[in-house]
Structure 1
């Protein structure tokens, strides 16, 4: 009897395997699974997503699928498929994020689909480049209040110094609450403060770049750092190198994936991605393509002189803020906010880096990566 039950159990497992792990359609990308039904590769993938993606790219190529938690996630990690991701009518952004929004802030699906487009347009208008001058005064005041808490000098982890600033941005939270209302409650994340940290860390770790930034600041504001500086939109235009540093930090610490849902089969390279897949475009890996970014792992702000930033155009293959009609509506505001942070901090304080730039955490698939180790600095008011 025991042998009969054992044979039946084995037969049952074989049947399940035959159904769930049938031979892959050759037109579909290679699929990474496991022998565990429904759960799939979730455990291996969840331990360190960026490392898992790198290993998958090396083994299967730039397009591959991960089956996890009953869903298929198809990754595109090189330029093929970028145009389709941003422009194809066979992909849908709202369907990709609706469940996550519901889980996070309890917005019903009907309200989300009904209001998302209007809310996006509203935010895009309020934070357009032509309106950024309305925010500089408030941002400068807030930053000066934060720096007053740091005192005249000190030593600490730069990530903590920056992160504490992000926790005080109550006026920005009020702005989002006012705009979004009750239909889609969305609070800004601390992504901006993470990028501000990385921007400062990269600058301080490259003496020639640090020197260049300080020379630019002195040419616009003078050498003393004691005054409560208020930076205008015109001042920002005179400091393009700091904007380049900001964009270069964003390039190196971009999200591991942004997503849309496949609603009709779509062809990428020689593969057909079936309806129902979550298509995952990877800015993190696209920004490491040497075809577009020579010496891609190196912090090189000068590469951004080739971008037509005066016309709000990024470098080719730079997709940190998405693309098409669903680019991040607050992208220009975020870039400006980071610029102001860097300007005011470096104008007021002299910094000495005590550690090398830490590696980014492989745990962050979405959003900007956290540092894996402290980045300690000494700072004191400039004389």
Structure 2
């Protein structure tokens, strides 16, 4: 045996032994579940059905336990009464480092580090342009663009029944309406050319997104690198500078990135592409599910439609097939039963995982009596789907009830676990510092989409097809897609 080979074996043997032996539980640490495959741990079982996996392990090990998943050690907190203590942890639990690493890997821009002084802070400040008073012009712009796309593609048709696939239908409208609202319009035209090609590439990229989040090298994912590059190239600065009527949010980000000479144009474009995914990746499937549930429950659909018509009538809003409907943020706020239906759909279809990374070895305070030792680099995870499907919190949790979040004509917020009122009972948008900054706009645009289709269209599911089910491959990442698209039919209403 050659000296070089002996040297290599000598270097690799300790590493191999470390991997095979793995980690052992220390005093005061939660129960440790490693699985029998080194490094992989329980990743395969978790990926197959995360909710079922966590439910079974909660029954065996209690409300707090640590699982080895693909080389990471994740401590799951399964009791929602403990969530407030975890969410308010600041210095010792961090979200930014994890999200920055994952986002830069998935979207292809360099991590936002000290190499770009002040950029992280400017990006964070920019999200205020999606909230508060800034929400009004954004919502108004979305209303106009939604009607533009809907009218040209669907209203200017004959009134006979037409068949379509529901997710494809929702995506085709929202993709372009969102793009126009966020990024603006081309010079001397109301709509961009090539949107269908861009949308097709986006869908292909989105299918690979869970693998990119898992940090599978992009060169292993077929043509994904080429597809991502085509998507990014659409947002190069010299092209975006020609577009008009872009949102203040995007204009501010554009000007911000232009301040950094160390950012290549391709890197700037990748940041803009990331916002496109953030604007659509969860909103479109959320729109699909609430549309599907309402069309599946005609009584609920009619109730929500009547609420909408009543709000417009009392506000003196007129519309017809030839006149666009306009819903202001004030109108949208009054659609309480519609909002309840949206929240109920999110309860049933969202499976986001709220993640924090331990910055040091420390004792994590769970409640007044309990603590758990965690190690630096460990991931602390909240899995809200466990709340959303808990029969103690939600009666008959697998059933869609459009008015579940209404009580005596008002928004219902009192949900209980072991007799104690929950602070966190619905968490589709994350929590604490990691809560989605665009959540208010997302709810508004879902309401706008529903309003348009309910006012202008009759909708029915096609007969002879199975009930829609969730694509579990996206569990942990947000709103899940349907495993298969759903056929439905629509026609113009006599309005």
TM-score by length of 1: 0.84
Does 2:234 correspond to 1:143? no
The Cα shift of 1:114 comes to: 4.3
Equivalence for 2:493: 382
The Cα shift of 1:285 comes to: 1.4
Per-residue displacement from partner, 1:320-369 (whole Å, max 9, x unpaired)?
22233442211111100100000001101000122565121221121110
Secondary structure of the 1:188 match is helix
* Contact 1:136 1:231 (8 Å CA) reproduced: no
Distance 2:34 2:66 in 1: 9
TM-score by length of 2: 0.67
Distance 2:88 2:15 in 1: 42
CA distance change for structure 1 residues 142 and 325 in 2, over 3 Å: closer, same or farther?
same
* Contact 1:251 1:284 (8 Å CA) reproduced: yes
Secondary structure of the 1:303 match is coil
Distance 2:456 2:330 in 1: 20
Distance 1:117 1:16 in 2: 39
Per-residue displacement from partner, 1:35-77 (whole Å, max 9, x unpaired)?
3332333333334444433443344333322213321122223
Distance 1:343 1:71 in 2: 44
Equivalence for 1:331: 439
Equivalence for 1:219: 310
Secondary structure of the 1:167 match is helix
Equivalence for 2:478: 367
Does 2:187 correspond to 1:187? no
Distance 1:324 1:21 in 2: 30
Distance 2:132 2:471 in 1: 32
* Contact 2:30 2:65 (8 Å CA) reproduced: yes
* Contact 1:63 1:74 (8 Å CA) reproduced: yes
Distance 1:136 1:65 in 2: 42
Distance 2:60 2:81 in 1: 18
Q: 2:406 aligns with which of 296, 302, 305?
A: 305
Equivalence for 1:133: 136
* Contact 1:267 1:273 (8 Å CA) reproduced: no
The Cα shift of 1:315 comes to: 7.1
Secondary structure of the 2:80 match is coil
Q: 1:158 aligns with which of 156, 166, 171?
A: 166
Distance 2:376 2:14 in 1: 29
Compare 295-304 and 86-95 and name the one that shifted more: 295-304
Question: What residue ranges of structure 1 are gaps of 5+ in the alignment?
Answer: 1-10
Q: 1:91 aligns with which of 90, 93, 97?
A: 93
The Cα shift of 1:382 comes to: 0.2
Distance 1:325 1:118 in 2: 16
CA distance change for structure 1 residues 272 and 300 in 2, over 3 Å: closer, same or farther?
farther
Secondary structure of the 1:74 match is strand
Compare 105-114 and 131-140 and name the one that shifted more: 105-114
RMSD value, Cα:
3.2
Equivalence for 1:320: 428
Per-residue displacement from partner, 1:195-236 (whole Å, max 9, x unpaired)?
111111111111221110122233234698523211122322
Per-residue displacement from partner, 1:103-156 (whole Å, max 9, x unpaired)?
123233415894334422321x21224332212332122222332323444111
Distance 2:393 2:122 in 1: 35
Equivalence for 2:251: 178
Compare 348-357 and 42-51 and name the one that shifted more: 42-51
Distance 1:135 1:17 in 2: 51
Compare 265-274 and 341-350 and name the one that shifted more: 265-274
* Contact 1:214 1:346 (8 Å CA) reproduced: yes
CA distance change for structure 1 residues 156 and 323 in 2, over 3 Å: closer, same or farther?
same
Distance 2:480 2:33 in 1: 24
Question: What residue ranges of structure 2 are gaps of 5+ in the alignment?
Answer: 1-12, 184-246, 261-267, 414-421
Between the two proteins, the alignment pairs up a number of residues equal to 370
The Cα shift of 1:164 comes to: 1.4
